[in-house]
Amino acid sequence: MLIFAAILAIFVYGMIAAMLGTILPDLSDRFHLTPKQNGTIAFAQALGLMIASLGVGPLLDTQGDKAGLILGLAFIGVALFALPRSKGFGSIVLLLFLLGVGGGIVVTGANALANSAGGAHSATVLNLVNLFFGLGGLATPFISANVFKRNWVRLCYTIATVTVATLVVQAVAKMPAPTGSAGFVLADVGPILGRPLLFMLGAFLFLYITCEVGVWNWLPRHLIAQGIPESRALNILSLGFALGLLIGRVGVSPILIHVPAVEVTLAASIAMAVTTFLMLRTNKPTAAFALVFIAGISMAPVFPTTLAIVGTAFPRMGGTAMGFVITCGWAGLAVSSRLIGAIAGGDPLRLKKALLLIPASAVLMVGLNLAIWSVLR
């Protein structure tokens, strides 16, 4: 039941992670938004993710995962029910911030719950649970392009309904007691923040999220600017990138039983650097699909495997440590979104140049992964 509850929560997060990239073309057309404004919207969501992930750790440690998951899903539901009634740029920014807050709480709570349920095989369990993130990410653009015919209002209401159903499951599920003391003591955080490994893992996730969410939020607009039809671009995102994430996490789970987690993240970082660079070099739909699919497979193990390393290295106050590292990851989304939007400016054709930030970040991941490996050894 614990794993099922974590799976549903991760599935919802996967759906909203792909939400902005899926509806952004239609929102831009309806409200005449520029790439710079798109970047601000993505930054607002990232800011919500950061604030929530950092703040929810103590809540999970002192009140339990159930409280965090219910709160986060409630925020997501409110944001999605209200988004179709938005009046313009300002209200969109506010609601995407709220969506980010809910998402940050849910992804931290769900991964903390999966880590507890996984025990000695937490890396394998986290990858299996997070494959449903890929399934959720696949579902959103696929449903939008093929079922709702780009009707983003129906898409919002559908995902909101799934979110409410997931909230009910979390409410009735019996979850473990909090791991921390009844009152959160700031002194307990000192030993955690005093370890350089935590900051190295945070920086690693910062670079990774720059890559992954850069694809989620910007790939459809980039492909459309290269002359690929919007429905085809959304299918490349869903059946290419999201499906690659899903298959990659299924495939890597048995590998992690025998191969150290840090070796898996190193191989993934190298593959990411190559595939994301090549992905931006083509304007052929078939080649783009293949490269985006391989990029998804390459990225698949990084996020959950990094969290498994955190959970193993910081068994006490694990929610706080995991929340800190995830917050660093969302900082990557915040910085990259503003930077990509600023470089692209008002010209969608300049987006290709701006997105070179993705393979550059993957190259930096390789070097940082080697440093983390050295510390762990």
Q: What pLDDT is attached to residue 177?
A: 67
Residue 172, CA distances (Å) to 24, 168, 370 in order: 35, 7, 43
Q: What pLDDT is attached to residue 265?
A: 95
CA gap 292, 219 in Å, rounded = 9
Q: Is the pLDDT of residue 167 over 90?
A: yes
Give per-residue pLDDT as tens, 223-257.
888 888 888 888 888 788 888 888 888 888 889 88
Give per-residue pLDDT as tens, 103-127.
989 988 888 888 777 666 777 788 7
Cα dihedral sign, 9-12-18-23: negative
Residue 153, CA distances (Å) to 82, 86, 99, 130, 146 in order: 10, 11, 16, 27, 15
Cβ–Cβ contacts within 10 Å for residue 370, how many? 12
CA gap 317, 180 in Å, rounded = 6
The predicted model gives 193-197 an average pLDDT of 77
Q: Is the pLDDT of residue 193 over 70?
A: no
The predicted model gives 61-88 an average pLDDT of 87
Q: Is the pLDDT of residue 185 over 50?
A: no
- Fold designation for 2-174+184-376: Growth Hormone; Chain: A; (1.20.1250)
The predicted model gives 311-315 an average pLDDT of 78
CA gap 59, 221 in Å, rounded = 37
Q: Is the pLDDT of residue 183 over 60?
A: no
The predicted model gives 197-202 an average pLDDT of 92
- Verdict on whether the full-model pTM lies above 0.85: no
CA gap 207, 331 in Å, rounded = 9
Domain extents in the chain: 2-174+184-376
Q: What pLDDT is attached to residue 184?
A: 47
Q: Is the pLDDT of residue 35 over 60?
A: yes
The predicted model gives 181-203 an average pLDDT of 68
Q: What pLDDT is attached to residue 119?
A: 66
Q: Is the pLDDT of residue 188 over 70?
A: no
Q: What pLDDT is attached to residue 168?
A: 93
Helices 302-313 & 261-279 angle (0-180, nearest 10): 150
Q: Is the pLDDT of residue 210 over 50?
A: yes
Strand residues in the chain grouped as ranges (E): none
Q: Residue 239: which residues within 8 A CB-CB, separation 6 or more?
A: 138, 142, 289, 293
Please report, to the nearest 10 degrees, the dihedral formed by the alpha carbons of residues 318, 324, 328, 334 taken in order. Answer: 120
CA gap 258, 264 in Å, rounded = 10
The most confident of the ranges 82-96, 150-164, 262-276 is: 262-276
Q: What pLDDT is attached to residue 122?
A: 73
Q: What pLDDT is attached to residue 11?
A: 93
Residue 102, CA distances (Å) to 53, 87, 190, 325 in order: 9, 21, 27, 17
The predicted model gives 179-188 an average pLDDT of 51
| pLDDT band of 221, cuts 50, 70, 90 | confident
The DSSP call for residue 187 is G
Between 77 and 87, the higher pLDDT residue: 77
Q: What pLDDT is attached to residue 234?
A: 82
CA gap 272, 275 in Å, rounded = 5
Nearest CA to 328 among 205, 238, 215?
A: 205
- Minimum mean pLDDT range among 28-32, 41-45, 65-69, 319-323: 319-323
CA gap 107, 299 in Å, rounded = 17
Q: Mean pLDDT of all residues in the chain?
A: 85
